[in-house]
Chain A
Amino acid sequence: MYTQGLDQRGDGKAAADRPELLARFQEKVDAEEKIEPKDWMPAEYRKTLVRQISQHAHSEIVGMLPEGNWITRAPTLKRKAILLAKVQDEAGHGLYLYSAAETLGVSRDELVEQLLTGKAKYSSIFNYPTLTWADIGAIGWLVDGAAIMNQIPLCRCSYGPYARAMVRICKEESFHQRQGYEIMLMLSRGTDAQKDMAQDALNRWWWPSLMMFGPGDADSKHTAQSMAWKIKRFTNDELRQKFVDVTVPQAEFLGLKVPDPDLRWNEETGHYEFGEIDWEEFYQVLKGNGPCNRERLEARQKAHDEGAWVREAAAAYADKQARRRAAA
């Protein structure tokens, strides 16, 4: 554990009392230099990063559940192997991200506790169910596709450990995205039943994927400060537009219909126009009323509770070993 526990309490006052520190910090950020764990940073910057990195870590861990749901039912051995590797990557991403958050002076145990008590959020997209095999394709194509849009700019985030974790994560995510698209391609070139399955998955995942970029810029409370700190590089609406522009032609290539009657290409702007997002649904899912909020958290809680005796045993054994070594 670093000494940030102490720093953290001091940062707030230090920022007000020592404007020169704040100025030097902002200069560094503006010059695109990385902020490292031992550097001075404003308390709010630290808090924002802990919130964002831990939400991201929790999303990886909770995200294992909807996809893990199809590991035992994958249709071929090759698909089973790819899905296993993908979900394993997500566990790995969760590990790096918890480690990145730990450099800010908070332990993994505390963060997991915040997830289980509902104090910390995770990406709402994982509160939607995976009902058919096509959902595994749609998640890779749309959900990982949207995540990449969000995450590529994070590779240049001002906080060094987060930026470095994101470089590796983005490489793996883009592999996942291609795998998901390939599942959709196979289904859309398959039997009528498979095509229906693919269309149904697109119908259910399209809007929740657009919601992944967060509220519109006018309603996003963190955007301006995060951009000044170079934690964020593009606004929610900019990223959402980019996603739609990239994804609509991919849907057309699959011969699938994007479930938005207002979707049209605007020759003048060079962008797609799309319909109004149902923000009421977004806020309801965020509040805990999504189709699977309860199941997801219960599954995490169950794994945590049922693993308690295992973790205790491992700790007890390590203690015994240490005592034996000391006595020898």
Chain B
Amino acid sequence: MTEATNNEQLFEYVVRIADNALVTGQRLGEWVGHGPELEEDLALANFALDYIGQARALYTYAGEIEGAGRSEDDLAFLRDSHEFRNVLLVEQPNGDFAQTIARQFLFEAYYLRLLDALASSNDERLAAIAARAVKEIRYHLRHTRQWVIRLGDGTGESQRRMQDAIDRLWQYTGEMCTADDIDSWAAESGIGPVPESLRDDWNAFVDDALSEATLARPGNEWMASGGKEGRHTEHHGYLLAEMQFLQRAYPNSTW
């Protein structure tokens, strides 16, 4: 394989991780000032900030790999929906607090395992970014797991809402641990893990939390996909329209 193809694949691989981080950070940012209690406003803002930081490091690296002079902001603000490679799960709307917690929990249970594996990637730069992010996400996941349990094993209403949130988002969880060509390339090159290798651990972790939360694991096995190829849900366009507004309305400006 030539170096040029390698760079293209690596760019794709890094961008998809960055897109997950940015879209998650953007969604969490919507909560700020509207959380169920002040402590949670602080936590959600803090988590959003971690994700935006991860996205910045990853986009900067992706821009360097590509070598076409694109900055972190060019990649975040000047690509359209079909060019985004985030998984469908992270773009799902915040909904009520249970839906946000479910989304964060299901995603982070995967993301933590991915970062753990990437921390020993043979791509040194990616390994360094992952090693830093893994500490942040370990803390987030402890927080979101605790909320899944509190809400699941809280009141009748909170249990109903938490179960509904898990049921609603379940179909978006398959994509994360299903390899496509880029994932397979990364695994063969020693850059990233085989996604399927994370699945058992993800299942065990999720099942354990659901059981402690007195929640049922959804029965449906059918899984939606398309995020990694740039086929998104309707929510994605609105998220970008809001996020990219200033860069689109005032092109070539410095902020």
Residues of A in contact with B (beta carbons under 8 Å apart)? 61, 64-65, 68, 71-81, 84-85, 87-88, 91-92, 94-95, 98, 133, 183, 186-187, 189-191, 193-194, 299, 302-303, 306-314, 316-317, 320
Contacts and interface: CB of A to CB of B under 8 A. Distances in A.
B253 A190 contact: yes
Nearest to A312: B155
Contacts of A64: 32-33, 41
Of A80, A183, A312, the most chain B CB neighbours within 10 A belong to A80
A27 to B, nearest CB: 38
24 contacts: A68-B34, A71-B30, A71-B48, A75-B247, A75-B255, A76-B247, A77-B56, A79-B255, A84-B45, A88-B42, A91-B38, A91-B45, A98-B38, A183-B255, A187-B255, A190-B253, A193-B253, A307-B97, A309-B157, A313-B151, A314-B150, A316-B154, A317-B150, A317-B154
The 3 tightest CB contacts between A and B, nearest first, are A307-B36, A313-B154, A313-B158
A72 B155 contact: no
A72 B242 contact: yes
B72 A72 contact: no
A95 B49 contact: no
Contacts of A194: 250, 253
B3 interface: no
Contact of B245 (A68, A73, A84): A73
A295 to B, nearest CB: 12
Contacts of B29: 71-72, 80, 84
Contacts of B158: 309-310, 312-313, 316
Interface in B24-71: 25-26, 29-30, 32-42, 45-46, 48-49, 52-53, 55-56, 59
Contact of A313 (B32, B41, B45, B157): B157
A71 B155 contact: no
Contacts of A183: 255
A94 B22 CA distance: 28
Contacts of A80: 25, 29, 52
A77 B37 contact: no
Contacts of A191: 250, 252-253
A313 B150 contact: yes
A299 B154 contact: no
A61 B34 CA distance: 10
Given A191-B253, A309-B158, A316-B155, A87 B33 contact: yes
* Dominant secondary structure of chain A at its interface with chain B: helix
A172 to B, nearest CB: 13
A73 B246 contact: yes
Given A77-B59, A317-B153, A186 B42 contact: no
A186 B52 contact: no
B49 A84 contact: yes
Contacts of B151: 310, 313, 317
Nearest to B250: A193
Nearest to A314: B150
B199 interface: no
A200 B210 CA distance: 53
Contact of A88 (B22, B45, B97, B250): B45
B73 interface: yes
Contacts of B26: 72
B220 interface: no
Contacts of B150: 313-314, 317
Contact of B154 (A74, A88, A306, A314): A314
Given A77-B52, A307-B97, A65 B247 contact: no
B254 interface: yes
Contacts of B25: 80
Contacts of A72: 26, 29-30, 242-243
Contacts of B30: 71-72
Of A65, A76, A85, A190, the most chain B CB neighbours within 10 A belong to A76
B34 A81 contact: no
B246 A320 contact: no
Contacts of B157: 309, 312-313
Nearest to B22: A77
Contacts of B59: 77
B56 to A, nearest CB: 5
Contact of A77 (B34, B55, B242, B254): B55
